[in-house]
Copies of this chain bind each other. A is one copy, B any other.
Amino acid sequence: MTRANRQTGILLIDCDDRKGLVAAIAEFLYSHDANILHADQHQDEEHGLFLMRVEWDLQGFALDDAEFRREFAPIAERFGMRWRLEYSLQPSRVAILVSQYTHCLVDLLYMHQTGELACELPLVISNHLEAQPITGFYGVNFHHIPVTQASKREAESEQIRLLETSGADVIVLARYMQVLSPEFVQRFPGRIINVHHSFLPAFSGARPYQAAFQRGVKLIGATSHYVTEVLDDGPIIEQDVTRVSHRDQLADLVQKGRDLERVVLSRAVRWHLEHRILRYANKTVVFD
């Protein structure tokens, strides 16, 4: 998958499935001298949908952004496509919200430093102070916005103000333990990624490790998903599990879960930043 340091264009499309879609898109790109690096498509038979991701080398490509949009528009219109055009070297701006558990944040900060997460990190917001030192170490702005029952509305306003000022494209909830209001969610549609510390839909809601422990499951999981207005119900991006046994006490579940949480969250963020994810029907297609 990796094509480091290449300038690429990425076209993401979804529309009703029809004959000639692949030919039209491939022909369009070829006629403008695109060297296609990766093309993947998916047909959802149930919904009669066609979904595609195509990535090409910008070196030698004949169209600039404005030209592409002008030239491609008639094709898109002909097939009724929803589409977006992205560029690999135009990094997204990622804001992270976190509470007292910092393992996911620490992972994201480290991956950002090593270049594994190709994005900008304008700010970290937390209702706690635990995350401040490590955020500072990595040279990222830290904002402390406490949240109480009474101050929640006000706190969200301040969060939204900071997020919008920072130009954040995507908001990552790295174990942020407050439920966001519908107003907050609606402000950033399809742009909030959360990690839930269970194998959703099992144990949705609060205290999933406690619930899993009581139920006596033999595997625990974690789930990354887009946030929608319905709690823990958004499109799932990635899930993983690990084995537990009767020997594992609740504290062991929490500890084993930590590795799962950061793995499923960091994968989700990376795929989002690489424009690999298409959402439809409350599901995701992850083009790999």
* A114 to B104 CA separation, bound complex (whole angstroms): 13
On whether the beta carbons of B236 and A218 are closer than 8 Å, the reply is: yes
* A36 to B42 CA separation, bound complex (whole angstroms): 11
Q: Which residues of B contact A20 (CB under 8 A)?
A: 30
A176 on the B face (CB < 8 A) = no
Which residue of chain B has the shortest Cβ distance to A34 in the bound complex?
B19
On whether the beta carbons of B259 and A239 are closer than 8 Å, the reply is: no
* B-facing residues in A261-287 (Cβ within 8 Å): 263, 281-286
* B-facing residues in A216-274 (Cβ within 8 Å): 216-219, 221, 235-241, 243, 245-249, 251-252, 255, 259, 263
* B-facing residues in A1-24 (Cβ within 8 Å): 1-4, 19-24
Q: Which one of B134, B202, B216 lies within 8 Å of A235 (CB-CB)? A: B216
On whether the beta carbons of A22 and B26 are closer than 8 Å, the reply is: yes
Interface of A is mostly: mixed
A89 on the B face (CB < 8 A) = no
CB distance from A124 to the nearest CB of B (A): 16
On whether the beta carbons of B282 and A216 are closer than 8 Å, the reply is: yes
CB distance from A249 to the nearest CB of B (A): 5
Which residue of chain B has the shortest Cβ distance to A219 in the bound complex?
B239
Known: A22-B26, A26-B27, A34-B19. A42 touches B255 (CB 8 A): no
Which residue of chain B has the shortest Cβ distance to A239 in the bound complex?
B218
9 cross-chain CB contacts under 8 A:
A1-B247, A4-B251, A19-B33, A38-B43, A42-B247, A200-B215, A216-B284, A217-B236, A246-B283
Given contact pairs A1-B249, A202-B202, A218-B239, enumerate 15 new A-B contacts (beta carbons under 8 Å): A19-B36, A21-B36, A22-B26, A22-B30, A23-B23, A23-B27, A23-B29, A40-B40, A106-B106, A134-B137, A137-B137, A201-B215, A216-B283, A217-B239, A241-B241
